Amino acid sequence: MQRKEFEKLVEEGFERLPQWVREKIKNVALLVEDEPKDVDRKAQGLGDDETLLGLYKGIPLSERGETYGVGATMPDTITLYQFPIEDAAAEDNKDVRDVVAETIWHEFAHHFGMDEGEVRAREHRRKD
């Protein structure tokens, strides 16, 4: 898939978040890269046979204090990794747009302060 087409799916995936969720998102940039960098893979403790579909970096809303945003404040980032997302969709026989939307939901859950265990538990409940 061409990058422009994938970026369009990212826009659509963001729009699939509920309106009330989108309204609470502050100072976050959505990025697209082909693959996760080695430094990010190592930081996440991934083995050679593991990868990331997305990665949130920043200060979660639940941890931002009164001084957040005073002075120059770089945005948090959510990076979506195109090739692993496409591979995951093919392996699970899913539409790429659905994997993109699920990954966006997952990473924004981290932005709202959920740790990996909480995110996985909510994903499990969403599927039931």
- pLDDT value at residue 75: 86
Q: What Cα–Cα distance (Å) separates residue 72 from each residue in 37, 64, 68?
A: 26, 15, 10
- pLDDT value at residue 97: 96
Q: Which residues form the domain of 87?
A: 3-59+75-127
Please state, in angstroms and rounded to a whole number, the distance separating the CA atoms of residues 103 and 6: 13
How many structural domains is the chain composed of? 1
- pLDDT-derived band at 104, boundaries 50, 70, 90: very high
- pLDDT-derived band at 125, boundaries 50, 70, 90: confident
- pLDDT value at residue 4: 97
pLDDT at 54 over 80: yes
pLDDT at 123 over 80: no
Q: What percent of the chain stands above pLDDT 70?
A: 95
- pLDDT value at residue 111: 87
Query: The domain spanning residue 87 has which CATH number?
Result: 3.30.2010.20
In a domain, 69, yes or no: no
In a domain, 70, yes or no: no
Element (H, E) at 27: none
